[in-house]
Amino acid sequence: MNKQWWMDEIVYQIYPKSFHDSNHDGIGDIPGIIEKLDYLKDLGVTMLWICPVYNSPMDDNGYDISDYEDIYPAFGTMDDMNKLFEKAQEKGIKIIMDLVINHTSDEHPWFQEALANPDSPYRQYYIFKEGKNGNPPTNWRSVFGGSVWQKVPNEDNMYYFHAFSKKQPDLNWENPQMRHDIYEMINRWFDKGISGFRVDAINFIKKDQRFEDGIPDGADGLVSCFDYCRNIQGIDKFYDELKKETFAKHDCMTVSEAVGVGYDRIDECIGDKGCFTMMFDFNYTNIDVINEDYFRPTNWTIKEYRDAIYLSQEEIQKIGWSAPFLENHDQPRSINKLIKDPQYYQLGAKTLATMFLMLRGTPFIYQGQELGMLNFHRQSVEEFDDLNAHSQYHRAIEEGFDEKQALAFLNQRSRDNARTPMPWNKEQYGGFSTHQPWIEMTDGYETFNAQDQITDPDSILEYYKRLINIRKNQYHDILTYGEFISLPLNDHIVSYIRAYENKKIAILCNLSSSNQTYELDNIDHVICNNIHDYTPGLLKPYQALILYLKK
């Protein structure tokens, strides 16, 4: 595989609303990001992924865009955005932005015109259908619950389609003029100097044009829309045109959010024929739930998780490049999800960091992950901001769970877990703001804030810096370009080899709370150890090793 600049990047994802509040109104903003660029450079990251800052009614926290080329006022201005590009570049940090082109806000001028005038060309920019026999056009359930169809006001029997919230009408990708207008917008952002995009929900852009009912799979009498509007055959033609008209014209980095893509189809996303330079693989990160429903948790094992990582790395390696991650704005905190014994949370955070940062692909760190941030615990559903949390709560009740159980599912899996304010110090509101934040802080932030960890050589933050330096500088070629080779030593250990030009490094991570043995007799020396003890052939609970192997 040809070496590309984006293989070298260490990416840090910022959720602007919760990162740093510079004007103390309780909402994070773009100037707040600028103020923390030195922290990010010191961490060792080379690129920022900025979640949506576009103008939006904020029904889905910015993923409902009303103007792709203006900034949400609480976040700042376009001048602030241009200043962020400039200041980040001065510090050697690139920026990619979120690209949300499956849907817009219902307050976008295109959709407003489509509603106001059925004969407008913009009616064809979205998906409108007549109902059937007094019912919506199909019985598909949206990702956020309820029908994918919303009745059009003041029109008999007319509905519009939304795979997510009713305030997020899906764009009609079958319309060439709509696609053209989207491409023009994308290219104007490239002209501003960004390095690329993380492309949101992109595998939803093709719908099954038969629009037929499915067999209900829930107590609500609906069927998940996934089989009808996600990864639909023929989507590759949209991908090919998107790439040709935008990405291929720029030396850029693009990463696709493509949940549920089978490994037999990843060549549509990545590789020589694919649309994007890399992809997020959710096949192992969603191991804790079935069908992405919070109320369907799995009793996963370490071996299952390890084998899912192996499969992901091996299959993607055949085709192209991946973007390994532990957390993002849609996932709970990885420590709560993957460390089953709470007494090992702090040590386990280092183990997980070792496991994921050494994988093949461009690693993505989510804000606060480097501090070992944890999930919160809320007492009622009213304390949750995320609209999907409310829909999951009500679906759990519909499926027969009681309110206590439904609340427990939210505390374990809600997207709000990752959206709490970044704790910069132990003061009130964690130094995020001097004003009550838009969402409550995470419990116990006083014990895992940035200020304290910067001065503690044994902190999770300092361990992240160490790992990033190992990958980026000390063993760059092996850990960046090296082949991934699975190394199944023990069912409780996630272990693998990175190999490049007759050099090999082994990564061993015990994800259990008991001692585990292994056989590996060609060890040359220890590169990194997350505890101050080393016994060959033995891993203590949540011990992680990076080992240089003999030739």
3-state secondary structure of 525: strand
Q: What is the distance, to the nearest Å, from the Cα of residue 226 to the centroid of all Cα atoms in its chain?
A: 18
- Joined together, the tokens standing for residue 78 give 């376009």
- Which listed residue (64, 200, 268, 288) is catalytic? 200
Distance CA 70, CA 188 (A): 12
Residues forming a β-bridge with 14: 50
- Joined together, the tokens standing for residue 169 give 């009408």
Q: Which of 362, 348, 357 is nearest to 527 (CA)?
A: 357
Contacts of 46 (CB under 8 A, 6+ apart): 8, 9, 10, 11, 92, 93, 94, 472
Residues forming a β-bridge with 135: 132
Helix (H) or strand (E) holding 306: helix 302-319
- Which listed residue (29, 59, 64, 257) is catalytic? 257
Exposure on the CB side of residue 346, measured as CA atoms within 13 A: 12
Cα→Cα distances 308→284, 289, 299, Å: 5, 14, 15
- Do the Cβ atoms of 514 and 343 come closer than 8 Å? no
CA-derived radius of gyration, the chain: 23
Q: Which of 253, 267, 284 is nearest to 362 (CA)?
A: 253
Residue 521 a catalytic site member: no
- Do the Cβ atoms of 271 and 243 come closer than 8 Å? no
Distance CA 348, CA 336 (A): 10
Count Cβ atoms below 10 Å from residue 169 Cβ, excluding itself.
27
Distance CA 381, CA 55 (A): 28
Residue 113 a catalytic site member: no
Distance CA 24, CA 33 (A): 14
Q: Which of 1, 477, 82 is nearest to 274 (CA)?
A: 1
3-state secondary structure of 342: helix
Q: Which of 84, 71, 79, 70 is nearest to 33 (CA)?
A: 84
Count Cβ atoms below 10 Å from residue 413 Cβ, excluding itself.
25
Instruction: Provide φ and ψ at 454, rounded to 5°.
Output: -60, -30
- Do the Cβ atoms of 459 and 476 come closer than 8 Å? no
Catalytic residues, by residue number, are: 200, 257
